[in-house]
């Protein structure tokens, strides 16, 4: 058994958290490759080290004296080293960082040092080999990620090591210029390591015990999701459910490697297992509910629209030419409705309306803003009759008017559109009917 374990910033924010991580790794000898993030917040009002590095580098770019800011960062790491009673020093590393900041090495370089330094401490603490991600995670000259070269470099290097610590979040171009993934990119790094070493499992340790069926800020104490497929996760992530960096799914999905989301502060919890497919029957008809607001709808009416060849294409082309992405497009015989991001649409609103009139000469256009979209997702819906009916029943009982309903052909998800003011009540109503009453 071979596992790759990635630990988030909150899991490595202090010496106390490091000790928890050390216990987790030593409890299972198959946890052989470790991917650490930079230290996160120790308490609510604290600052993440990555943000401290951004601030320090900004001062360096402006030609200001950044010594005090760099000293604060150094103090954060020294606090961890002292708390772990390590005979280890980062003095030389901070000398290099100071020099690189002075020569304006770049924001990506600055941000990456959080993971780099934490990785060095982790390797010293565990007695594992430290491998600089800049040597094995490759980006192209244009800044795009090169997955093929990365996999070759990683596979060759890590095959020679029984245990290793590879810092997350960054890599480098062939010339050594450091490049970072987007924020949260350590999840991606862990996934790449798992692919390269042919791991049996990729454990992603964070501060929550996996995915929850609904947002805990909306639903009180929602139940956890035990097993979820990559497709279900993709649908929920699209609607705002975020525990794992979205791009982290693809490398391991390609190799059929499961991901286990675990809680560093509650290692006894099984967490959520993310898999390609499963015969396990879900506990409930649905797997999860997620939603987001900030949408607008544009309803276009025209008599005999259905017989006018190319009508939809002409309308969609208007949005494409105005660089506005379309979220959903329910339609009738003489009407079609376009759901778009409200902010993106408002920037080009009048231009888009004028272009629609020129393109298809509609009888009427109606706009509505402040809408929310909610996704009800679950592989169990395929084998359960009347799911849409239950949704309508739950929302009607809660006195919520449905503005749109759209079911994908895979029968994996149903998207519901409601008014912004009904958003939270709609999610609570759906959770109650599918989970609490288990209908």
CA atoms within 13 A on the CB side of 314: 15
The alpha-helical segments, DSSP class H, found in 8-66 are 15-26, 49-61
What is the DSSP code string of 72-120? HHHHHHHHHHHHTT-----HHHHHHHHHHHHTT--HHHHHHHHHHHHHH
The DSSP call for residue 285 is S
**Residue 62 Cα distances to 2, 55, 180, 297, angstroms:** 47, 11, 22, 45
- The CA distance from 146 to 16, in Å, is 36
Look at the block and give the residue holding tokens 């947002």: 215
pLDDT in tens, 23-45: 999 999 999 999 999 999 999 99
**Distance between start and end Cα atoms, the chain:** 40
Q: Which residues of 319-340 are buried (b: 16+ CB within 10 A; e: fewer)?
A: beeeebeebbbbeeeebbbbbb
Residue segments in the chain with a per-residue pLDDT below the cut of 50: none
- The CA distance from 41 to 166, in Å, is 21
Domain made up of 288-436: CATH architecture: 2-Layer Sandwich (3.30)
**Domain 3-207 CATH class label:** alpha beta
Give the three-class secondary structure for 149. Answer: helix
Beta-strand pair 227-229/272-275 = parallel
CATH 3.30.2130.10 domain residues, the chain:
288-436
| The model's pTM | 0.84
Here the tokens at position 238 are: 């699209």
pLDDT confidence of residue 249: 81
pLDDT confidence of residue 280: 76
CATH 3.40.1160.10 domain residues, the chain:
3-207
Burial class (CB in 10 A: 0-12, 13-18, 19+), 15: middle
pLDDT confidence of residue 342: 94
């Amino acid at each position: 058994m071979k596992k790759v374990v990635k630990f988030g910033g909150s899991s490595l924010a202090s010496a106390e958290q490091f000790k928890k991580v050390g216990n987790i790794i030593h409890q299972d000898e198959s946890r052989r490759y470790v991917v650490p993030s930079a230290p996160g917040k120790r308490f609510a009002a604290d600052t993440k080290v990555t943000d401290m590095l951004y601030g320090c580098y900004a001062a360096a770019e402006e030609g200001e004296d950044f010594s005090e800011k760099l000293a604060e960062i150094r103090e954060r790491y020294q606090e961890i080293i002292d708390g772990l009673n390590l005979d280890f020093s980062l003095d030389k590393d901070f000398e290099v960082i100071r020099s690189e900041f002075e020569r304006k090495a770049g924001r990506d370089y600055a941000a990456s040092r959080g993971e780099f330094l934490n990785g060095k401490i982790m390797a010293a603490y565990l007695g594992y080999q430290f491998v600089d991600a800049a040597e094995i995670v490759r980006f192209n000259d244009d800044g795009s990620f090169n997955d093929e070269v990365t996999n070759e470099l990683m596979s060759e290097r890590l095959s020679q090591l029984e245990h290793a610590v590879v810092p997350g979040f960054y890599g480098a171009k062939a010339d050594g210029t450091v490049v970072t993934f987007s924020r949260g990119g350590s999840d991606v790094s862990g996934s790449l390591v798992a692919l390269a070493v042919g791991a049996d499992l990729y454990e992603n340790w964070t501060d929550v015990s996996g995915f929850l069926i609904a947002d805990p800020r909306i639903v009180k104490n929602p139940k956890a999701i035990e097993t979820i497929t990559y497709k279900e996760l993709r649908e929920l992530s699209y609607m705002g459910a975020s525990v794992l960096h979205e791009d982290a799914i693809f490398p391991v999905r390609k190799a059929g490697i499961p991901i286990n989301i675990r809680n560093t502060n509650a290692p006894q919890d099984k967490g959520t297992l993310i898999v390609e497919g499963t015969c396990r029957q879900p506990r409930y008809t649905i797997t999860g509910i997620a939603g987001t607001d900030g949408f607008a709808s544009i309803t276009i009416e025209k008599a005999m629209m259905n017989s006018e060849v190319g009508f939809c294409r002409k309308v969609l082309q208007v949005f494409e030419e105005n660089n506005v992405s379309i979220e959903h497009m329910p339609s009738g015989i003489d009407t079609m409705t376009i759901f778009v991001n409200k902010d993106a649409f408002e920037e080009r609103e009048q231009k888009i309306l004028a272009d629609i009139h020129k393109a298809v000469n509609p009888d009427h256009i109606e706009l509505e803003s402040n809408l929310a979209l909610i996704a009800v997702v679950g592989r169990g819906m395929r084998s359960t009759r009347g799911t849409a009916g239950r949704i309508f029943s739950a929302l009607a009982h809660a006195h919520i008017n449905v503005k749109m309903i759209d079911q994908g052909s895979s029968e994996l998800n149903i998207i519901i559109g409601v008014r912004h003011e009904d958003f939270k009540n709609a999610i609570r109503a759906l959770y109650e009917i599918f989970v609490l009453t288990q209908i």
